[in-house]
Amino acid sequence: MKKLIAGNWKMNGSMENARALIANIINQLETDEDVLKKCDILVCPPFLHIPAVRHAIYGFPDLRFGAQDCSAYDNGAHTGDVSASMLRDSSCSYVIVGHSERRQYQQESNEMVAQKAAQVLKNDMTPIICVGETEDEREQGKAQEVVAAQLAGSIPDLESFQEIVVAYEPVWAIGTGKTASVDDVAEMHGFIREQLKELVPDADKVRILYGGSMKPENAGALLSTENVDGGLIGGASLSAEQFLAIARAAV
């Protein structure tokens, strides 16, 4: 399976920064096209920077872009929200849903995440559905139980195969510099694969990303772990050098 290296820019930077970052990524890819052939590369800027990124990567169809969230609804009276059809209209191909920061700060439930993922699929894009336990839950030995419940509740019903991506992001590893050990990642990703077999058709085709302080230094070990089909990268995706060093580690 081709690995997916996805950058989650979160709520960072100005329009000028976004333009500079994507230009830097493109410059580096122009001298190293092999990376783009061997793995899928995706950037998820803030909503307002999507048109600038779209403009910059015109002519680079293999470099994908997407959004960090979308509404659970089609359209209408949802002040401040952005619908999946608007994102499709802006040529997005992936949308992150259920990131732990949204589950935590916007109180997003599994049910809402499943509705958002269904909106993404309905609009011919691929949802990246995030799951992951907190430090307390891991210490109490509940990591698998929590992740199983999030998967069961956040993945919409699929009657036939549709591309979805699952991102396992232990909450305690996000932005903290702490990374889950390769053994823990291998165990959880294997567990997620087994759970997916109960939940979706063709579970073996679902890419399972690891996210949480992935850096060039640990990417090689994490990305060569069984059932790790890519990475969801926050902090390190704000540097073209680091982001592409992670992509190179994937190939």
Q: Which of 43, 87, 114, 174 binds ligand PGA (CB under 6 A)?
A: 174
Say whether residue 234 binds ligand PGA (CB under 6 A): yes
Q: Are 235 and 218 in contact, with CB atoms under 8 Å apart?
A: no
The residue from 99, 108, 137, 189 that is catalytic is 99
Say whether residue 40 binds ligand PGA (CB under 6 A): no
Say whether residue 156 binds ligand PGA (CB under 6 A): no
Q: Is there a catalytic annotation at residue 99?
A: yes
Say whether residue 175 binds ligand PGA (CB under 6 A): yes
Least gap, CB of 102 to ligand PGA (angstroms): 10
Contacts for 134-139 with beta carbons within 8 Å, 24 or more apart?
Answer: 134/171, 134/172, 135/171, 135/172, 138/170, 138/172
Span between the terminal Cα atoms of the chain, in Å: 11
What is the Cα–Cα distance from 169 to 147, expressed in whole angstroms? 10
Task: Classify residue 16 by burial, with Cβ atoms within 10 Å: 0-12, 13-18, 19+.
Answer: exposed
Say whether residue 8 binds ligand PGA (CB under 6 A): yes
Q: In this chain, which stretch among 41-49, 105-113, 146-154, 212-220 interacts with ligand PGA, using CB under 6 A?
A: 212-220
What is the Cα–Cα distance from 84 to 122, expressed in whole angstroms? 8
Say whether residue 220 binds ligand PGA (CB under 6 A): no
Residues known to be catalytic: 99, 169
Give residues in contact with ligand PGA (CB under 6 A).
8, 169, 174-175, 211-214, 232-236
